[in-house]
Amino acid sequence: MKLLTVVFIGFISSFSTMTFSNELLVGKKVSHSWTENTFPKEWPTPTFETYICDNRTLIWNNTTDKNNLSFGVEAYTAVELAPKVLQVSWKESPETTNYGIIWTLDFNDMTINGVLVNIDNTRNFVVSGAFTIEEAVAKPGLKSCQ
C-alpha cells in the first residue's frame, strides 16, 4: 500500500508541475533581452518578445533590429525546477535553423538564464538577463497567437 501511495503522489505531483507552468505562461507574452552573454562582442544585444499560445506552442519574435524582425513558431516543453522556477525548451526545425533553446525563468527575481545550442558551429552560448511577463496583446509587426 505504501508503494502505491508513493507512486500515486508522484503521478499527481507531475500534474501540479504542468498546472504551475501553464498558469504562469499560457496566454502571456514574455519579453527579455540577453544582456549578459558569451556572444562575440560585435553582435548586438538580442531582444525578444515571445507569445505562449497554449501548453505546447510558442511564437518568438526577434526584436533586436526593428527594421528586420524575425519570428518562429515552436513546440515547447515547460518543467518546474523549483517553486516559481520554470525551464522552457524547444528545438527549432533542421530545415530552418536547427537551434536548440533552453530558458530558465525565475519568477522569484524575474531573471532568465539560458543556453543556445547550434547557433555557432564550435560552441554553445550561455546567456542571461531580466524578463517581464504580461497578458499577450498583439503588437503591430509581431507574430502572435491571434
Q: Is residue 40 part of a domain?
A: yes
CB neighbours of 141 closer than 8 A, spacing ≥ 6? Answer: 69
Q: Is residue 34 part of a domain?
A: yes
Q: Is residue 42 part of a domain?
A: yes
Q: Is residue 81 part of a domain?
A: yes
CATH of the domain at 131: 2.40.128.20
Structure confidence by residue, pLDDT tens digits, 88-139: 999 998 888 899 999 999 999 999 999 999 988 899 999 999 999 999 998 9
Q: Is residue 70 part of a domain?
A: yes
Number of domains forming the structure of the chain: 1
Q: Is residue 69 part of a domain?
A: yes
Q: Is residue 140 part of a domain?
A: no
Q: Is residue 122 part of a domain?
A: yes
Query: Domain range spanning residue 39?
Result: 2-135
Structure confidence by residue, pLDDT tens digits, 56-100: 999 999 999 999 999 999 999 999 999 999 999 999 988 888 999
Q: What is the pTM of this model?
A: 0.82
Q: Where are the beta strands (DSSP E) in the chain?
A: 28-33, 36-37, 47-52, 57-62, 70-82, 85-91, 100-106, 111-117, 125-135
